[in-house]
Structure 1
Amino acid sequence: MEIGYQYLALVVVGLAAVIWGLPAAHRLQKPYDIAAALAVLAGVILTAVGILLTIIPSFFR
C-alpha cells in the first residue's frame, strides 16, 4: 500500500483555514465575514482532498 505523505500539507493548510475561519466569520465586520466563511469552505475541501490523496495517491489518475 502506497501512502502519499506529500499531501499531508493539504490537510494542515485546510485545518488551519477552518480553525482561523470559524471564529473569524463571527468576529469580523460585514463584508469580511464572507471571506472568512469562504476560507472555511475551502479549508473543508482541502482537508477532505488531502486525506483522500494521502490514503489513495492515485485517486484522480
Structure 2
Amino acid sequence: MSELSLLKKELFGDATTAISDIKFYPGENSQASIEEIAGYTRAALADIRSGTARDIDLSF
C-alpha cells in the first residue's frame, strides 16, 4: 500500500477521529513527491502519538 493510501486511511478512515479539513504547504522543496510528503506526515503523526515529538516555538 502506498504512503498516500496509508495516510488517507489514517486521517480520514475512522469517522470518530477523522480529520475533515487539512492543508499541506510543500515548503521550499517543490520537488518532493506526494509519496515523500505522505511518508513524512505519517512519521510526524507517529512521533506525536508516541510522545517523542518536540514542540516548535512559534513565538516571534
TM-score of Structure 1 vs Structure 2, range by shorter chain: 0.3 to 0.5
Give the alignment's TM-score, normalised by structure 2. 0.36
Which structure shows the higher helix fraction? 1
Give the alignment's TM-score, normalised by structure 1. 0.36
Between structure 1 and structure 2, the one with the greater Rg is 1
Higher relative contact order (CA 8 A, sep 6+): 1
